[in-house]
Amino acid sequence: MSISHLPTASGVILTGNPAMLQILSRLRAMARTEGAVLLIGETGVGKELLAEYVHQESPRAARPLVKVGLASLPRELLESELFGHEKGAYTHAIAQKKGLFELSSGGSIFLDDIDDFPIELQAKLLRALEAHEILRVGGTTPIRVDSRLICATKVDLKSLVERRAFRADLYYRINVMPVAIPPLRERRDDIPAIAEYLLRHFAPDRELSLSDRARDTLVRYGWPGNIRELRNVIQRICLFGAGAIEESELPAELLAGWEGAGAAAAWSRQCEVCREQQDLSFDEVVACVERHMLEDALFKAGGNQSQAARDLRMSLSTLRDKLRKHNL
């Protein structure tokens, strides 16, 4: 499989997966426009790298890309950080401060975890996007800004709108060009190349490689933390590894996911949707786990439905019914 290497400001996008290559092609086309881009995907799938890719492929590439991790900013500081403040606006405002929107003007601003944006500040964000002007905390004069917006979310924003936790008008403003990023378990063919790249990255002075069994284990594992988790695992391996890395040298949690408790228990532990969305019903959890087990069985069987049915200990007709049910 041919692997594309696309360098960005803070890393490299590695993929030969057809779905990911199609996504990159779409992002490249989107980058040439001025519309807002919304990256949708689980934690750790590489949304920040893709935001960098959009910016560097855009006409604004020579200007700054300002990245904002909304989940990591205290709510009481968020307004000042984004929009700035005037001297004396509050007790510790001893000098005027430009906000991140001003600093990104002419370039792009990446709002990561937009689903964590406080609803009480969403009207101010909407005005910045629609009127292209902001008002510093304590200020009275609007300031013009010209920033290309790129957002990322780890949850379905529409469900937040329905629960009145996210403004509908803001949702429609940032949902101009939504792009769903597949989790690592849905692009398993990329795992060996990413792992080999990370081995060279973390141990450039040593010739490390993966044994066949170690590589197979990496490919089979569910990766609930996606590429970020894979990166951490490879970094840990590089601390003590030498030569060909054997399966026994992999972290225990990778092996535990496929031994002892069975595949169903493994998926229920690994599926990030089941673990993080506490409001899922019983039927939704069952459907989520079932879909992932079907995908995994088909992958391991090389797409052979008869073999996948045998591996799952079900009839071929039942397997096909379930594939139709999950649109696989």
> Mean pLDDT, consecutive 10-residue segments, the chain of 328 residues?
84 93 96 95 93 96 94 84 81 81 94 92 92 85 92 90 92 94 93 95 90 92 90 90 86 65 47 55 73 80 81 79 82
Give the domain-ending residue among 158, 180, 202. Answer: 180
Number of domains comprising the chain: 2
Q: Are residues 26 and 159 in the same domain?
A: yes
pLDDT at 8: 92
263-270 vs 282-300: helix crossing angle, rounded to 10: 110
Q: Which two tokens stand for residue 268?
A: 């229920």
pLDDT at 262: 44
Q: Are residues 110 and 239 in the same domain?
A: no
Q: Are residues 76 and 161 in the same domain?
A: yes
Q: Are residues 279 and 312 in the same domain?
A: yes
Residue 119 sits at the vertex; the CA angle it makes with 135 and 41, to the nearest 5 degrees, is: 110
pLDDT at 299: 75
CATH of the domain at 135: 3.40.50.300
Contact 7, 149 (CB under 8 A): no
Q: Are residues 166 and 44 in the same domain?
A: yes
**Which residues have C-beta within 8 Å of that of residue 59, sequence separation ≥ 6?**
32
Contact 9, 54 (CB under 8 A): no
Q: Are residues 157 and 121 in the same domain?
A: yes
Contact 103, 146 (CB under 8 A): no
Q: Are residues 142 and 280 in the same domain?
A: no
Contact 308, 323 (CB under 8 A): no
Measuring CA to CA, how many Å separate 158 from each of 8, 153, 168, 211, 277?
30, 11, 8, 44, 14
Q: Are residues 217 and 245 in the same domain?
A: yes
pLDDT at 159: 87
User: What's phi and psi for 314, nearest 5 deg?
Assistant: -140, 165
Q: Are residues 57 and 83 in the same domain?
A: yes
Q: Are residues 24 and 61 in the same domain?
A: yes
Q: Are residues 197 and 239 in the same domain?
A: yes
**Which residues have C-beta within 8 Å of that of residue 250, sequence separation ≥ 6?**
214, 217, 218, 233, 237
Burial of 282 (0-12, 13-18, 19+ CB in 10 A): exposed
CATH of the domain at 268: 1.10.8.60
**pTM for the complete prediction?**
0.77
Q: What is the DSSP letter of 181?
A: P
Domain around 147? 4-180
Which residue carries 């996210």 as its tokens? 166
Measuring CA to CA, how many Å separate 307 from each of 216, 219, 265, 316?
18, 18, 21, 9
Q: Are residues 256 and 130 in the same domain?
A: no
Give the domain-ending residue among 130, 165, 180. Answer: 180
Give the domain-ending residue among 151, 180, 209. Answer: 180
